[in-house]
Structure 1
Amino acid sequence: MEEVKAIVEKSQQFRMNHIKLFETNWDPYDNSEGNDVHDSVQSGINVSKTLRAVMEPLFASHFGESVLDELFKKFAYNVKVHLDTEKTKYSVITLLLTRI
């Protein structure tokens, strides 16, 4: 978080009113706090769909739409394999800024 603070301060365009770091599960439908994944197959699909919603236009423009279904199917499988061994979380930083 110190790096983010330094970048905001260096820009001299904003005053930082609040900064918070929190973690969230990879699977947007998994609200559990524990380290267990209850359904790694469904969680892999959920993570893949979430990433696809954001990245599909970029991947389609570079590789064509014909590869997308297979790409995200393989990605869902790889996430499932990972979640079978370890529950992973995203780190999220939220900022409340005021323009100077």
Structure 2
Amino acid sequence: MEMFNPFGPWLLLAFVAFVSFRIGQATKAESPAARSHRVMAEQDDINAAIAQVDDREWGEIDQLLVEKKKIAAIKALREATGLGLKLSRMAIEQRQKGR
């Protein structure tokens, strides 16, 4: 005679619920309004940080861009502003487009 395991069905149900939740998170699309708000917040962070950069530092960063050393320019901007990698990369790409 088999013993009844009261946790078996509940454990399976919990596992299925967890997997369904993770699939929902992975496939959830960002709404256009949420994306717009996030992009505007990122741009505000970039603008606030690059306002701290002085002319000498911009000269060094621009020289690195002229020498096609984009990664070094991103690193220099990160050191000067404390921005993260993503926002520093975005700022450098904006700087390149504006030149």
Structure with a larger share of its residues in helix: 2
Q: TM-score, normalization: structure 2?
A: 0.25
Structure with a larger share of its residues in strand: 1
